[in-house]
Chains A and B, each alone.
Chain A
Amino acid sequence: SQQGEEDPQALSIQEGENATMNCSYKTSINNLQWYRQNSGRGLVHLILIRSNEREKHSGRLRVTLDTSKKSSSLLITASRAADTASYFCATDRSGNQFYFGTGTSLTVIP
């Protein structure tokens, strides 16, 4: 079964607003990654946060990790129409493999 589950499944916001997506997982992890997927394309890595980190920033992206709650959130600030995509969290499993969640579909309305 999949490890990560994103919430909400779909999110629609106006351009300029902030978008928050959440990811919950079931077992202990070493790191958690967030990926973006444009429709019909491959996934693109956005950010990795290690289990000993609580928050990480990259441009307009802010990721938090709460290992006690087994959850992570991805915040996209000042959203743009180009941010429209699906966003996935991925948690590490054995070796170099990851569990991917089912994704949050984000629509940013211009």
Chain B
Amino acid sequence: SQTIHQWPATLVQPVGSPLSLECTVEGTSNPNLYWYRQAAGRGLQLLFYSVGIGQISSEVPQNLSASRPQDRQFILSSKKLLLSDSGFYLCAWSVGTGYQPQHFGDGTRLSIL
């Protein structure tokens, strides 16, 4: 069966520090991968989307970046965090077309101090 792992579960970082969040998927090949951010009490904002290794689409201008070094690995990074980067970050995967559901990790709660 397919599984998705996202870590860490919680992270507290000072303003200006770097960030690296990792997401890996097991049990499937060539998945579509997604990074979302969810502000408190809000819906999900799509940050990045990838259909294959090295192929990243960015949805909103920001100081975050994403990389996909392996087929089932998706990394969210920042060189210098801002206070506004605080939030709940979710990784998800899907296969095939838009008629397929997305499967989410358990998220990372990021707090910037």
Residues of chain A having any CB pair with chain B under 8 Å: 2, 4, 30-31, 33, 40-45, 48, 50, 88, 90, 92, 95-98, 100-103, 105
Contacts and interface: CB of A to CB of B under 8 A. Distances in A.
B49 A97 contact: yes
A100 B43 contact: yes
B104 interface: yes
Nearest to A44: B104
A41 B36 CA distance: 13
Contacts of B106: 41-42
Nearest to B100: A96
Contacts of A100: 36, 43-44
Contacts of A4: 43
Contacts of A42: 6, 90, 92, 104-107
Contact of A31 (B32, B90, B92, B99): B99
B102 interface: yes
B104 A43 contact: yes
B101 A48 contact: yes
B5 to A, nearest CB: 11
A48 B100 CA distance: 8
Contacts of B94: 96
B51 interface: yes
Nearest to B6: A42
B58 to A, nearest CB: 12
Given A33-B101, A40-B107, A42-B107, A102 B90 contact: no
Nearest to A5: B43
Contact of A41 (B44, B92, B96, B107): B107
Contacts of B44: 43, 88, 100
